[in-house]
Amino acid sequence: MAKHWTRRQVLAQIGIAAAAVHTLDPHELCCAVPAHAKTTDKDLFELKKVADGVYAAVAAAAYKVNSNAAVIVTDDGVVVVDSHSKPSAARAVYTEIQGITKKPVRKIVNTHFHWDHWQGNEVYAAANPGLEIVASQRTRENLTRPDAGAGGIPFIEKQLAGVPSEIEKLKGDIMRASNPEMKSRLEANLQQAEAYLQELKQLKPMLPTRTVSTTVTLHEQGREIQLHLLGRGHTDGDLYIYLPKEKVVATGDALIDWMPFFNDGYPEEWVQTLNALEKLDFTHIIPGHGEVLPKAHLTFFRGYLTDLITAVKTASGGGATLEEMQKKIADQLAPKYEQAMSKYPLGRYRDRIGQNVEMVYRKVVKKG
Ligand SMILES: [Zn+2]
Ligand SMILES: [Zn+2]
């Protein structure tokens, strides 16, 4: 039975109720998007069939971003991987799931602790008594650690402190908007930010009720679901959900169709972890963001990580400053990666390359 915690209860429980709340650094946002990103209130998700009884709920591009979900129907219930950034988004997916099956949702699996992958857990818990929420042991810890990064209960407090200034900035941008099209986009973003703030204030964080610290097989009725811990990568607790019979893997943000987000990541280990993932026999990837992908995308995405790491090491070895590296490497890797890493209005090559270079420089070259 999933236990309901209020945010305050959890904060008190972990002894950080009085922890300083600081303003949100935009770099801390897992999936911060440019203010001009396309937004829609309806059609938040499209449910796409990947195999018999296996679906990807592919999130539409939205200013307040949502993760994808994997929806796996078993003989006696449903397993859902990731629950997006907010209850309203989880509700939208849950409604779509109920259009496929009236079976209860038995399990939620959270791939990692980032805010846009778990903040909708409460919706499934409220509607499904006995729901289990499964995550890696490390993810469970990260969800309450004040210094964990871009997700968890302390990060909700940071967002509550940060979103009001984001709203003020959007209001200022709207006043200064030079054309009607830009203005209406910003107004839509403002609406989303205001609605998101209201949801954040009401959020009832639902932490994992079951953790795994090694690879396990869930023997659901009529469906084998494996949970793999393959090493550190996008975070230190990434979980891969693998269906051996259907040859499908759900990867969270360890493998996406956007540019990667490195802030809580381990660039060199990430490459090794993807090598381990490659050994599994699968044909389809349900990524954390973007459309369902073929296995070949792993090679491409890992190629970007290795080329980026090599480029940063070479440039810094040659004495380049961070700013010089950011400019040089952005142009250097563009022919191979810019187009394929800019398919969506979010997480595009030029939006993230500077930040990617900086993170790899700090984590790989400066080791800290
Ligand atoms: Zn994400
Ligand atoms: Zn993430």
Say how many Å lie between the CA of residue 95 and the centre of ligand 2: 24
Give the model confidence (pLDDT) of 65-77 as tens digits: 999 999 999 999 9
Alpha helical stretches, state H, 128-152? 137-142
Say how many Å lie between the CA of residue 67 and the centre of ligand 1: 5
pLDDT band at 219 (very low <50, low <70, confident <90, very high): confident
- Rounded Cα distance between 85 and 258, Å, is 17
pLDDT band at 210 (very low <50, low <70, confident <90, very high): very high
pLDDT band at 15 (very low <50, low <70, confident <90, very high): very low
Ligand nearest to the Cα of 85, by number: 1
Distance of CA 323 to the CA centre of its chain: 28
Share of the chain above pLDDT 70, in %: 88
Give the model confidence (pLDDT) of 294-331 as tens digits: 999 999 999 999 999 999 999 999 999 999 999 999 99
Say how many Å lie between the CA of residue 215 and the centre of ligand 1: 22
Share of the chain above pLDDT 90, in %: 85
pLDDT band at 31 (very low <50, low <70, confident <90, very high): very low
pLDDT above 70: residue 7 = no
Ligand nearest to the Cα of 288, by number: 1
pLDDT computed for residue 368 by the predictor: 58
- Rounded Cα distance between 273 and 360, Å, is 17
Q: What is the pTM of this model?
A: 0.89
pLDDT computed for residue 43 by the predictor: 73
Q: Is 193 exposed, middle or buried (0-12, 13-18, 19+ CB in 10 A)?
A: buried
Classify 207 as helix, strand or coil. coil
Which of the pair, 239 or 29, is modelled with greater confidence?
A: 239
Ligand nearest to the Cα of 114, by number: 2
Say how many Å lie between the CA of residue 267 and the centre of ligand 2: 14
- Rounded Cα distance between 22 and 16, Å, is 13
Ligand nearest to the Cα of 112, by number: 2
pLDDT computed for residue 61 by the predictor: 85
pLDDT computed for residue 6 by the predictor: 54
pLDDT above 70: residue 38 = no
Ligand nearest to the Cα of 234, by number: 2
**Average pLDDT for residues 145-160, to the nearest whole number?**
96
Say how many Å lie between the CA of residue 50 and the centre of ligand 2: 22
Say how many Å lie between the CA of residue 178 and the centre of ligand 1: 32
Ligand nearest to the Cα of 150, by number: 2
pLDDT above 60: residue 102 = yes
Say how many Å lie between the CA of residue 113 and the centre of ligand 2: 7
